[in-house]
Amino acid sequence: MMRCSKGTKIEEGQNDWISQLPESVLVDILSYLPTKDAVKMALISRFRNLWTYIHCLSFDECAYHDHNRYGGENYDGPHYDERFLNLIRHVLILHERTTIDEFHLKFAFNLFNTIHDDQYNSDGYASKERRMASELTTWIKFSLRKQVKVLDIDLLGCGLSEPEVNYELPTRILTNNYLKELSLTGCGIEEKGCIQLMLLSKLSLKKIMLSDKIMGEILIGCPMLEELSLDGCCGLHKLKLATNIKRLKIIVGWRNQMSNSRLEISCSGLKSLEFAGAIQLVQLKYSASIFDASLYYSRTFMCERRIYEEVQMLLLKLAEVSVFIPCTWTTLVILSLLCLDLI
């Protein structure tokens, strides 16, 4: 017998309402837990095999490892936590649901040793990476076989800020009729691959080397795309958005700023725009349709006449938007520009 906080007596088993729920509801509950925790629920008899039917799979390596696996004076090759790898292997082998809604993977991985093969070859570092790359490919293909709708692959994990050599995605990831949302971080996209994602409505790319050609093929191959996010992606010079894209988020990273790489954006049908970083490197064309805009300026702003003119042109392009949201730093930049105009 138990007592609640007010002293009311409760018979044993009376408050175990979770066990009385239908299995379909229990599966939904488990699906929104980290998969690591959902599997642990098998220790409870009522939940024994239910985790094998969850529709959301989420694997985060950052719960397992030391954050500093790469680089440093004492570098001794790539390390992959076997507990994390064994969890994924165990789940993918025993998972019984025919389809899944979401697949999330956060795993710090790149092919660092492929460019240092001569230095580390005697220790087999490069071959270890290649084996890991092959296994990573099987994980991604597993999600595609399950007709995943939301796919999130983050290969920066929590240990790498910039990948030295990207793992190249299997081409099948960019040619399917099931994906509705796709998020890729620290991956490589093959320039020769065919891109056809007929149902994709939301795309997020972070720390990925792009080109005008690749981005053009992505936009052509995603006719239902409505939201696009580009965070720290290099290699773009011209971005011509299709009229179906309504929301755009762009973070201009430090690599673009160091190389002074400029980006021209044509956005005739855009409704919502969010800029961050070195916004002076961005030029807008056909921006009359934008309803709301947000600016988050880089703290490395330098008050120079040339930069003043570039930012002034951008602000003029956004002068007619109904909702304009500047961050505090952007407000300071605008004030500095006004001061410069008085000099």
Residue 332 pLDDT greater than 80, yes or no? no
Facing residues of 148 across strands?
A: none
The least confident of 11-15, 219-223, 311-315 is 11-15
If you average pLDDT over every residue of the chain, what do you get?
82
Highest mean pLDDT among 210-219, 304-313, 334-343: 210-219
Domain coverage including residue 193:
55-225
Together in a domain, 42 and 60:
no
Q: b/e map of 151-186 (b: 16 or more CB within 10 Å)?
A: bbbbbbbebbeebeebbebbeebbbbebbebbbbbb
Is there a domain that residue 295 lies in?
no
pLDDT, one tens digit per residue, over 14-57 is 556 777 788 899 999 999 999 999 999 888 888 888 999 999 99
Cβ distance 190 to 168 under 8 Å? Answer: yes
DSSP secondary structure letters along 57-115:
EEEEGGGTS-S--S-STT--S----HHHHHHHHHHHHH---S--SEEEEE-----GGGG
Label residue 168 left, alpha or beta by phi (over 0 means left) and psi (-120 to 50 means alpha): beta
Cβ distance 294 to 261 under 8 Å? Answer: no
CB contact set of 156 (below 8 Å; sequence gap of 6+): 108, 163, 185, 186, 206, 207
pLDDT, one tens digit per residue, over 233-270 is 988 999 999 889 999 999 887 666 555 678 899 988 89
Both tokens assigned to 229: 């996010």
Among residues of the chain, what percentage have pLDDT more than 70? 75
Together in a domain, 75 and 124:
yes
**What pTM was computed for the model?**
0.84
Together in a domain, 73 and 192:
yes
- Report residue 4's pLDDT band, with 50, 70 and 90 as the boundaries: very low
Average pLDDT over residues 123-141: 88
Residue 7 pLDDT greater than 60, yes or no? no
Tell me phi and psi for residue 81, to 5 degrees.
-65, 120
Residue 141 pLDDT greater than 60, yes or no? yes
Is there a domain that residue 310 lies in?
no
Average pLDDT over residues 79-91: 92
Task: State the DSSP code for 234.
Answer: B
Angle in degrees, CA 231, 234, 237, rounded to 5:
110
Residue 175 pLDDT greater than 80, yes or no? yes
Together in a domain, 47 and 60:
no
The whole-angstrom distance between residue 319's C-alpha and the CA centroid of its chain comes to 31
Is there a domain that residue 87 lies in?
yes
The whole-angstrom separation of Cα 318 and Cα 284 is 9
Is there a domain that residue 36 lies in?
yes
Tell me phi and psi for residue 210, to 5 degrees.
-120, 175
Label residue 186 left, alpha or beta by phi (over 0 means left) and psi (-120 to 50 means alpha): left
The whole-angstrom separation of Cα 114 and Cα 266 is 38
Confidence at residue 103, expressed as pLDDT on a 0 to 100 scale = 98
Average pLDDT over residues 331-335: 61
Together in a domain, 81 and 158:
yes
Please give the residue that has the higher pLDDT: either 49 or 138. 138
Confidence at residue 306, expressed as pLDDT on a 0 to 100 scale = 62
How many domains are contained in the chain? 2
Please give the residue that has the higher pLDDT: either 66 or 153. 153
Highest mean pLDDT among 31-40, 56-65, 160-169: 31-40
Residue 204 pLDDT greater than 70, yes or no? yes
The whole-angstrom separation of Cα 323 and Cα 218 is 29
Q: Which of 53, 68, 95 is the last residue of a domain?
A: 53
Is there a domain that residue 319 lies in?
no
